Amino acid sequence: MTPTAQSRTPAPARPERLSRPANLAELREMIGRESERLTPRLRAAARYALDHPNEVALNPVATLARTSKVAAATFIRLAQFLGCEGYSDLQRLFREPLQHAGKPSFPQRIRHFGGEQTLDHPDDPAQVLQAFSQANMVSLEHLRADAASLPLQAAIDLIEQATLVHVVGLRRSYAVAAYLAYALNRVGCPTVQINGLGGSIHEQASIASAGHLLIAVSFPPYAGDTLQVCQQLSQRGVKRLALTDSIFSPVAQGADLVLEVNDAELLGFRSLCAAMSLAQTLAMGVAFSKRSKQRTGSTETFETVLEDIDC
């Protein structure tokens, strides 16, 4: 008996096509904004493309499919969803930055470093220190290269506009969160750290309300309690600034602003240099903004304005 149309399983609906972005920065923003509308396969393709921009720029779709383990047709559908005519049109967005910078992307450099660098004597602390130092330099080089594209001023504005700032970061992110809470308080920005001591993380978060800001710091494998605090405070109307590794990070989903920062990894240990530098930049940015507003028209220099701050 021929199955009826009613008995057939309907094909999943494809997400509605968007308007083509003008450049790679707009593309990244669009993917972050629309990520929840992507199917799991499209999301995997998008994440691989953003993590490996040079591979997209320089390789045909068949090669990209082999290296990424994502079907070529998926990349083509992703391009069409993003408003491009096809994969070649998508490539043009990724090729444009190569005209201004010849260095490989951060994930490629780190992956290459992690794959090629070996420790002949892992029991030699000096060799381990040399390897970590090299990995940290790569992280900071990437952060410096991307500084102009990070929404730093928007992040500083969010912090200044909040009546109270809450900072959460657990596991390896704890050190960054603790420093950021300390530094923001030192520059006159009321801040509390949600640290979960005594198992009271949800009680600590419960004091947050509309008008406050949550700064969530989290990196893979993403602490479960941090994600729960993000959800808890989102339901209370609290704005969120996410410091994380990717726009696909769970703490980035639903965030008002995302600052992406990637640290080097060596033998399972992740550096904190880039993340800590970003935290210091936010604190100094808030300090200088506050002091400059207080001294409008003053002839004081940047160093003079901040001379009494010791973070």
| Tens digits of residue pLDDT in 254-290 | 999 999 998 877 666 778 999 999 999 999 999 988 8
Residue 139 has pLDDT above 90, yes or no: no
Nearest alpha-carbon partner for 266 in 121, 130, 123: 130
More confident residue, 309 or 139: 139
Nearest alpha-carbon partner for 48 in 116, 113, 111, 138: 111
| Residues in Cβ contact with 246 at an 8 Å cutoff, skipping those fewer than 6 apart | 47, 50, 51, 252, 260
Q: How far is CA 231 from CA 62, 78, 172, 175, in A?
A: 39, 28, 20, 22
> From CA 207, how far away is CA 194, in angstroms rounded?
10
Residue 293 has pLDDT above 90, yes or no: no
Phi-psi region of 232 (alpha: psi -120 to 50; beta: other; left: phi over 0): alpha
Here the tokens at position 11 are 């094909």
Determine the average pLDDT of the residues in 98-115: 48
Nearest alpha-carbon partner for 274 in 231, 217, 223: 217
Paired sense of beta strands 165-168 and 265-266, if any: unpaired
- The lowest-confidence range among 89-93, 171-175, 180-184 is 89-93
Nearest alpha-carbon partner for 266 in 129, 174, 106: 129
ω before 40 within 30° of 0 (cis)? Answer: no
What pTM was estimated for this model as a whole? 0.73
Q: Using one digit for the tens of pLDDT, what is the confidence trace for 176-229? A: 999 999 999 999 999 999 999 988 999 999 999 999 999 999 998 889 999 999
